[in-house]
Amino acid sequence: MSLDTLKAAIPDYAKDLKLNLGSVIGNSDLPAQQLWGTVLATAIAARSPRVLRELAPEAKANLSPEAYTAARSAAAVMAMNNVFYRTRHLLSDHEYGTLRAGLRMNVIGNPGVDKVDFELWSFAVSAINGCGMCLDSHEQVLRKAGVDREVIQEAFKIASVVQAVATILDAEEILSDLPE
């Protein structure tokens, strides 16, 4: 029901987003845990209260308690790592890359779910947060684990649509409050 509510809220000028949202979630070939973990992690990363309110209950209903926690953990640790590693990469002084990060990220080593699922969710969050270093790192781990490019692309398709829906719905909320 919440996916339908979200789709119904998308304005007509963004009809492609409505169709894509239904397609990337409703017609996905990903196993349920990979799909709904990706949806939850990217909904958190998109930073839209409305999108998260609509998608989180459905994700929770489709995930084990461990997977629900792990998807949230992926969003949390990548919120930190994406800023850190993106900044390190963008700085012209490459000596920062030789310094010890000194950040705790133990959940990556022991996420409580299949490592491939956690890596896929981390990858999808990194797509939203725009960290090339993290995207490359997680993509390489996934490929070494035998994950097909089509599966990886499915994760960033979900990320792109969830982010776009969040952007449009949040903008519509603000625009509807403006005087005519």
148 is catalytic: no
**109 catalytic residue (yes or no):** no
Contacts of 88 (CB under 8 A, 6+ apart): 96, 97, 133
**Percent of the chain with pLDDT strictly greater than 90:** 93
Sequential DSSP letters for 62-78? HS-HHHHHHHHHHHHHH
Catalytic residue, candidates 55, 56, 131, 166: 131
Q: What is the pLDDT of residue 176?
A: 87
pLDDT tens-digit series, residues 115-170: 999 999 999 999 999 999 999 999 999 999 999 999 999 999 999 999 999 999 99
pLDDT over 80 (residue 111)? yes
| Of 103, 41, 49, 32, residue with least CA distance to 74 | 41
Catalytic residue among 134, 152, 158, 168: 134
Contact predicate 168/13, CB 8 Å: no
